[in-house]
């Protein structure tokens, strides 16, 4: 890190640390804070790796990782990188909810790790701050870029230059309880908004909520809103549009007809999934990371389908994380690591283990696992996945949540809610 610019980065970090929120990754990816015991274990593991790297010499990188060591295959891949290259990886684990705040503190104290596992909405923000290394020439010359999903590569760029590589990727689909749908006489899984409303009417007759979403004051809520915002034909730069009003009226009808409980305003994505697992909600929006817990805990047959189609077609949201390379002066070794984690045989290994959608199309296509239901639906929807905005994301998220909750709770009509939200976003 160049000392002469440290004061600039420190000022930017202080401004950002005031409250920038997690984009997905539920969502992006669905992460939750880990227990104190897990953090202690991770600290112990990090200390051991530090001692080992000192014994081996200075072929070492530091890695901020938001995934705990319970992701055994992922951690094994990192160990395999060291075994192959001799480059030690000192892991600085921290829960997803804490990582953005800590990154900004490290910027201010000139102590950034060499590689950072960051939400895909953040890479451009950190690049704009000047704390990431430009790796454009390496990416263009050493990677098969035509094999990747274009939207995923785009979130590693700022002003046309690359500052990181994809790590994990995901999107959202519709989970449905086959037994409840059969009991209610729903013969086809809803493929449109009208079909979803019709199915919910039948499900109401057997005493269950037809539909549920995350609706609390977290980015889980906006992550699950984007497919419906885009499905209506709206976008962040025209939130005050008739298309947004159409989307809000869809949710309003859900609540007024008691197809969806107003309790969703208290749910994050995990709470909403628990309602589905308990058989209290027949259909929910969620990501591939939820497959393992639903498969383990749901006492019924379930399926996964595309997010129901709005007037603008099928849409879903692109979630996931990137490996951003810091401008610490250790770029060469950092590049070797992120390039290794993007190898097809490595990517498929940790992606299959944790239900991440591979960032490379050929990796997904060549995997028997990703060709099977229900994960194959998420792979199919990756073609429809749209990247979230990266400028002022936490402020935009707060505005959209307030807009949505005001309609769900009856505080505003859809027209007024959309108008107010549009004015707030325009004022950013």
Instruction: Look at 159 and 14; give whichever has higher pLDDT.
Output: 159
| Amino acid 57: pLDDT | 53
The pLDDT of residue 337 is above 80: yes
Q: Band of the pLDDT at 47, cuts 50, 70, 90?
A: very low
The pLDDT of residue 13 is above 90: no
Mean pLDDT over residues 379-389, rounded?
93
pLDDT in tens, 83-103: 999 999 999 999 877 988 899
The pLDDT of residue 267 is above 80: yes
| Amino acid 392: pLDDT | 87
What domains, with CATH codes, occur in the chain?
Answer: 3-171+319-376 (3.40.190.10), 173-317+392-426 (3.40.190.10)
* Rounded CA separation 174/47 (Å): 42
- List, in sequence order, every residue forming a beta bridge with 211; answer none if it has no partner: 283
pLDDT in tens, 193-234: 999 999 999 999 999 999 999 999 999 999 999 999 999 999
* Rounded CA separation 15/157 (Å): 22
Average pLDDT, the chain: 89
Mean pLDDT over residues 149-160, rounded?
94
| Amino acid 413: pLDDT | 98
In sequence order, the 6+-apart residues with CB closer than 8 A to the CB of 271 are 214, 216
* Rounded CA separation 248/229 (Å): 9
* Rounded CA separation 378/384 (Å): 10
DSSP 76-123: HHHHHHHHHH--EEEEEE--HHHHHHHHHHHHHTT---SEEEEETTTH
Q: Band of the pLDDT at 58, cuts 50, 70, 90?
A: confident
Handedness of CA 350, 355, 357, 362 (dihedral sign): positive
């Amino acid at each position: 890190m160049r000392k002469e610019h440290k004061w600039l980065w420190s000022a930017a970090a202080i401004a950002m640390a005031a409250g920038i929120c997690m984009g997905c990754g539920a969502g992006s990816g669905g992460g939750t804070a880990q227990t104190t015991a897990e953090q202690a274990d991770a600290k112990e593991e990090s200390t051991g790796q530090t001692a080992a790297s000192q014994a081996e010499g200075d072929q070492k990188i530091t890695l901020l990782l938001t995934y705990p060591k319970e992701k055994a295959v992922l951690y094994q891949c990192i160990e395999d990188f060291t075994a192959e290259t001799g480059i030690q990886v000192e892991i600085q684990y921290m829960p997803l909810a804490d990582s953005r705040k800590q990154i900004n503190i490290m910027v201010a104290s000139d102590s950034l790790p060499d590689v950072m596992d960051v939400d895909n909405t953040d890479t451009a923000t950190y690049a704009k701050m000047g704390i990431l290394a430009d790796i454009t020439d390496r990416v263009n010359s050493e990677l098969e870029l035509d094999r990747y999903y274009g939207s995923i590569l785009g979130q590693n760029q700022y002003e046309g230059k690359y500052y990181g590589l994809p790590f994990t990727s995901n999107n959202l689909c519709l989970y449905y309880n086959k037994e409840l749908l059969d009991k209610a006489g729903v013969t086809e899984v809803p493929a449109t908004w009208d079909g979803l409303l019709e199915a919910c009417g039948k499900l109401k007759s057997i005493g269950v909520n037809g539909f549920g979403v995350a609706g609390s004051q977290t980015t889980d809520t906006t992550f699950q809103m984007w497919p419906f915002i885009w499905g209506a034909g709206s976008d962040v730069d025209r939130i005050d549009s008739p298309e947004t009003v159409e989307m809000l009226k869809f949710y309003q009808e859900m609540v007024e007809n008691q197809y969806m409980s107003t309790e969703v305003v208290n749910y994050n994505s995990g709470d909403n999934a628990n309602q589905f697992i308990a058989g209290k909600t027949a259909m929910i929006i969620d990501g591939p990371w939820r497959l393992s817990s639903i498969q383990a805990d749901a006492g019924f047959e379930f399926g996964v389908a595309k997010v129901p189609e709005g007037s603008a077609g099928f849409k879903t949201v692109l979630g996931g994380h990137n490996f951003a390379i810091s401008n610490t002066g250790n770029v060469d070794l950092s590049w070797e690591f992120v390039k290794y984690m993007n190898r097809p045989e490595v990517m498929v290994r940790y992606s299959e283990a944790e239900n991440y959608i591979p960032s490379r199309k050929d990796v997904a296509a060549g995997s028997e696992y990703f060709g099977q239901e229900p994960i194959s639906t998420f792979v199919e929807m990756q073609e429809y996945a749209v990247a979230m905005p990266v400028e002022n994301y936490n402020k935009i998220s707060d505005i959209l949540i307030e807009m949505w909750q005001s309609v769900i709770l009856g505080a505003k009509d859809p027209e007024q809610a959309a108008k107010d939200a549009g004015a707030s976003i325009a004022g950013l």
